[in-house]
Amino acid sequence: MAFRDFSSVLVFCAVAFAGATCHAQSPRSATLATDVNGFELGMPISEVGTKLKLERLGYGQYDGKDGMFAYNFEVTPLGRVYRITSQQTLGNFIVDQTFRLALRKKLSEKYGPPHDAIGSDMWTWRLVEKVENTEGEIQPIETMRMTASVTGVELEHTVEITLIDFRILAIDRARVNSKPRTNAEQEVKF
């Protein structure tokens, strides 16, 4: 099964994890840490709201700001954070090799060494696990990802970090689906 876009992966993961079995061949996390500035994957959005003033955008997304940090959170139907995007404004300077090496070192100390570098200004961490879907097929699926990048122009540079765990979303979708699915099974008549 080829995935054409990110939403296809989300749908497949939600279907794959609903009553499915994970056959993890690697660590259960793509990174050593699963937080950005103390905002943890799996944390209830209500708890995030005690630390940060949030604006609800709809469709399970929330924005918040704290000084030089802007955040976007995406939550499951049960209100748990499964995606965190953080943008830290750094100001006016030239991104050079010294800065890149220092940033990579800091990222590696907290999250572990990145798995890939895309150019010189973007790094990725990934966790791919074998997942048995509801039809018994076992496929490798990216269940967790982190990206970190330096963006901007000389007048305004930003470090952006995105941390996402599809398993949190899939588990909560399966929980929400459990009762309606059972009700539907009981209502089927011939």
What is the distance between the alpha carbons of residues 175 and 165, in angstroms, rounded to a whole number? 16
DSSP-derived secondary structure letter, 14: H
Residue 68 neighbours by CB distance under 10 Å:
12
Q: How many domains does the chain have?
A: 1
Structure tokens at 189: 């008549």
> For 117-154, how does the pLDDT look when each residue is reduced to its tens digit (9 = 90+)?
877 889 999 999 998 777 889 999 999 999 999 988 76
- Specify if 148 maps to a domain: yes
Cα dihedral value 171, 37, 117, 102, nearest 10: -160
In a domain, 54, yes or no: yes
In a domain, 130, yes or no: yes
pLDDT top residue among 151 and 19? 151
- Residue 187 lies inside a defined structural domain of this protein: no
**Contact call for residues 95 and 121 (beta carbons, < 8 A):** yes
In a domain, 184, yes or no: no
pTM of the model: 0.81
Q: Which of 102, 100, 129, 93 is closest to 117 using CA atoms?
A: 100
Domain encompassing residue 103: 6-179
Q: Average pLDDT in the 12-34 region?
A: 58
Q: Nearest 5°: phi and psi at 62? A: -135, 140
